[in-house]
Chain A
Amino acid sequence: MSGARAAAGVIVVGLGAWALAAVFAPPEPAAPARAFTSSRQCAQCHAQVFAEWRESWHARSWDDPDVRALSNDFSNTDCIDCHAPRPVFETGIGQRVLPRSSRRSEGVDCIACHALADGAVAGTIDRPSAPCRPVAMIELQRPEFCGGCHDQHQTVQEWRASRWFEQGVSCLDCHMPFRAGDPKRGRDHRCLGGHDLALVRSAVELRGRRAAGAWLIEVENVGAGHSFPTDERSRAADLFWRPLAAAGADPGPWRHFYRFRSPYRHEVDVVENLLAAHETRAVPLDDPQADGAIEVALFYKLTPYYADPERPDPEAPVNAATLVHRLELTP
């Protein structure tokens, strides 16, 4: 009994000493302020995050050949605002981003999202002694944080108008999920989006049924937290059909019958018809030749153009269209 009391006494004294030390010990010494001039500096400690980011389209936003060509090698300086932005915490959460002069080749980089004005960085923990002096900032998780660039085409507004907003599902849940679903492992910095086929496939469903003696094709936005497609005006999604061929027979060319698109600013003849979150679009297949068994396919395009606009061939490599869903329909 006395042994147990002694042990308890030791524990109480120990806990007390620990508590006193916690209260009165000098604070963790702050690391000296460090100027960050390149996101490569982050790789020294955050190799996995850096490697994921290097794979991402954020990292390619300056030197991707499509961007270089479409911006005329950034002689169209309007493009720099979002493709090499100043730190979001500097311009302000929910504010429009501004272009930067330095490290442009790193595109949308670690510094653009994490750098704070005082030289520390925004993160998920407070650790003043670490070289980058991270400060926990909940703002990193808010859709407004991404909105400086990604709301330029109303994507955040589209999300806000959706049920995903009401349910508390936001940008990071789909585009920066926890690695292996485990919050302890941190978030995936590849920031997957329209370039990721699995994510695009999960965004929409394709169905077909007979209605009034003709095929009615339905596309439903089941998984995107915003319109489909969204954000980039260059994106498009096209519906094609062709007669269902017997095994081994030539099915013939695909025939285009519907397009989801938001027009470029110069396109006075294109009507915006993106598929809103949760929306189902029923598209009648009016072609009288589409009477029997048919194939229907939904293709996704990162650039809206086809080499031959009169007879678009989604399977021609030059057109760089990605098959999202394909259906076989028989009456």
Chain B
Amino acid sequence: MRLPLACAALGALAGCGGADAPAAFEHYPAVERAIARLEAEVAAQERAEPPPAARELEREHVPGLVRMLAHSSGRARELPLEEVRALGDAATPTLAALAAGAETAPEERAAACELLGEVASQLATSHLLELCEKAPEAWLRAHAAFQLGRVGRDHVLPRVLRRLKYEADQEVVVWLASAAAAYRNYAGLEALWMVRNAPRTTDLSALAEERLAAIAQEAGVADPDEHYQLWFGGDPEGRLPAAEPSARLRLEAWRRIRDLRDFQLRGVDDGRFVLSRLGTWIVDPLCEALHDDDRYVRVHAAQCLERMGPRALAAGPTLLTALSDPTLAIDAAAALGGVAYPGAEPALRELLTSSRDHELRVAAARALGRLGLAVSIPALRAVVEGEEPLDLRQAGATSMVQAGAGDEVALRLLAMMSDPAADRPAAEAALEQWLSGREDAVSRAVFERWLALAPPPGIIPTAEEVEQRLARRAELLRAIPR
């Protein structure tokens, strides 16, 4: 009885410290609660839509449909398609076996894949996902990816996006990106542009271009370039069609959030990749995950928001309050920079100038650079010119470049580029950014020569070659008049 009283008294005393003291950033089992809620929701939906009763089929019935589809064209194709729709999951196991069976003729495997897409049930979708992820034949993965865009089940998105991370075949990439777009997820546009600009064959370039145009048109945007900018820029005016994620997709997303606890980085990396590429609807779950009991979930949720960039701008206020959580402040600061939330500038500046946590100060300095606001320049300048540790001065100098004050720090960065104690590659990158923004003729000429010193694509330079490049680039910069 005495302990609660004492706690209450202490709480009251703490409250006397000032009415403006920020409330503690609460931790609770956010993941468990969300998953339990969504599992119940999905189960209720499934109870409301029971699958059709199983039918007894003759052994050759489904293979016959597959052969019919494989060897017919035009309206003749309609018959097997209609029949398999009527059969539903009664046909699925046989279709899946035929699609995966290496001994089946390729055109029949493709037809079986198409029929799985026509069935479009939960089970058929699972088989398509398996094919898309594991089939050794790239053409079959491409077929499966195409069908995944047709099944009308948005919960395929996490696995489609994950496959997009690992897929090496460009044609499969095209159809994975298209499948994601069918659910109003345009994360695959980046990969489509890469295929269009650096195709293995000219046909692939044309296919990618055609898909980019079609996807943009379906999204109501005339220009594929603009479509790309809208998606990755966060679509501040809400021009893109909003995705309404199903309960099953939200459940899948929360399961990915739960996986962020894993010890093995393999799953964590995949989770970060997928979560940061889902639509802006994922911002709310990620903000909720910032409160989870598990530190890894909190930290990685912040990282996912950071990686979403301006698409996660809505997380700004929550991230701002997360700065008060000592277990999360560093990652919250980084995320505030990543999402480019201007409202965080005063808080980040305060951390930079007043925090006693070196790690947090560096994170704040970097975040201010990503905000790129001129108002931060005096605080950054004070850090750069002060008696601060080298890494903090370098973070400050880099951020000054990003905030448009690169001329002030170029010489310092040049010195850092040859200082073995500095982050030399980062200094080189900051100088490249600074140089790319200069308009005078000498700088333009220097920049061209600077770029010419970059290693050819796909070639990893030796340590000696890196040294030579840094030295030659430093020499180039010294030619710029000041």
Contact = CB atoms under 8 A, between A and B. Distances in A.
Interface of A: 35, 37-38, 40, 62-66, 68-70, 73, 77-78, 81-82, 86, 95-96, 98, 100-105, 151-152, 265-266, 268-269
Contacts of B466: 65
Given A101-B363, A104-B426, A268-B136, 20 more contacts: A37-B358, A63-B424, A65-B466, A81-B265, A96-B262, A100-B330, A101-B362, A102-B389, A102-B391, A102-B392, A103-B391, A105-B391, A105-B422, A105-B426, A152-B264, A152-B265, A265-B166, A266-B165, A266-B168, A268-B134
26 contacts: A35-B358, A38-B391, A40-B421, A63-B424, A69-B461, A73-B425, A73-B429, A77-B303, A77-B307, A78-B265, A78-B269, A86-B359, A96-B268, A100-B330, A100-B359, A101-B330, A101-B362, A102-B359, A102-B362, A102-B389, A102-B392, A103-B389, A103-B391, A105-B421, A265-B166, A268-B134
A111 to B, nearest CB: 10
Nearest to B162: A265
A38 B389 contact: yes
Contacts, number: 87
A124 B362 CA distance: 31
Interface string B432-444: 0000000000000
A294 to B, nearest CB: 33
Contacts of A37: 358, 389, 391-392
B334 interface: yes
Contacts of B455: 69
A144 to B, nearest CB: 11
Nearest to A104: B423
A73 B455 CA distance: 13
A65 B462 contact: yes
The residue in A63, A65, A69, A105 that gathers the most chain B C-beta atoms within 10 A of its C-beta is: A105
B293 interface: no
A266 to B, nearest CB: 4
Contacts of A152: 264-266
B1 interface: no
Interface string B329-357: 01000100000000000000000000010
Interface string B258-273: 0000111110110011
Contacts of A63: 423-425
B366 interface: yes
Given A38-B389, A96-B296, A101 B269 contact: no
Contacts of B423: 62-63, 104-105
Given A105-B424, A266-B168, A38 B362 contact: no
Nearest to B270: A265
A38 B390 contact: yes
Contacts of A268: 134, 136
B356 to A, nearest CB: 8
Given A101-B330, A269-B136, A65 B463 contact: yes
A275 B395 CA distance: 44
Contacts of A73: 425, 429
B167 interface: yes
